[in-house]
Amino acid sequence: MKVNWFLADAARVAEGKLNALGGGWDLIAPGAPFAVCGVIGIPWHQGTEWHRLRLELIDGDGNQFCVPVEGDESKPVVFDPPPYRPNISPHVKPGTTLGWPFVFNVGPGMPLAPGTIYEWRLSIDGHHEEGWTLPFTTFPVAEMPEAA
């Protein structure tokens, strides 16, 4: 499968189309909202099968990034939507790649550390390929000039 994906300020899927605003960046302020979005090309011969998408946020050390939850516990940041099977219109010619648009909106307040590299790791049907990563960096902490 082919994956075309990127980071955006905001995105949604409507009527089978991906709508994105402010896309294509790789540097963000920690805690700002953003979207992980793209389109997966499903080969024609796999069009009648159900497929699973999984996105995992990985920190700069290669570990799953976790956010605090109640008490002293934490949970990894993972997007694991319901399985997907494309609707094949009778007007689509055999052999055509079938598009699967997806969006994972990350709300404000994600506790990302300043000046740190992260990456999203994508897998489809439990399979991950080397090119299915999307790195990004957070702005470092701005230094305030000292008062004179």
pLDDT tens digit sequence for 102-137: 999 999 989 999 999 999 999 999 999 988 999 999
* Pick from 8-17, 69-78, 138-147: least confident: 138-147
Looking only at Cα atoms, what is the longest distance across the chain? 73
**Residue pair 23/8 in contact by the 8 Å Cβ criterion:** yes
Q: Would residue 112 count as lying in a domain? A: yes
Q: Identify the H or E element spanning 139.
A: none
Q: Would residue 143 count as lying in a domain? A: no
Q: Would residue 146 count as lying in a domain? A: no
pLDDT of residue 50: 95
The number of CA neighbours under 13 Å toward the Cβ of 67 is 12
Question: For residue 8, what is the domain's CATH number?
Answer: 2.60.40
Count of structural domains within the chain: 1
Q: Would residue 44 count as lying in a domain? A: yes
Residue 147 has pLDDT above 70, yes or no: no
pLDDT of residue 144: 58
Q: Would residue 147 count as lying in a domain? A: no
Task: Give the span between the Cα atoms of 112 and 116, in whole angstroms.
Answer: 8
**Residue pair 25/135 in contact by the 8 Å Cβ criterion:** no
Which is more confidently placed, 94 or 33? Answer: 33
Give the range of the structural domain holding residue 62, as residue numbers without chain letter: 2-138
**What is the signed CA dihedral for 85, 86, 87, 90, rounded to 10 degrees?**
-130
pLDDT of residue 58: 96
**Residue pair 77/66 in contact by the 8 Å Cβ criterion:** yes
DSSP 8-class letter at 76? E
Q: Would residue 144 count as lying in a domain? A: no
Q: Would residue 31 count as lying in a domain? A: yes
Helix locations, the chain, DSSP H: none
Q: Would residue 42 count as lying in a domain? A: yes
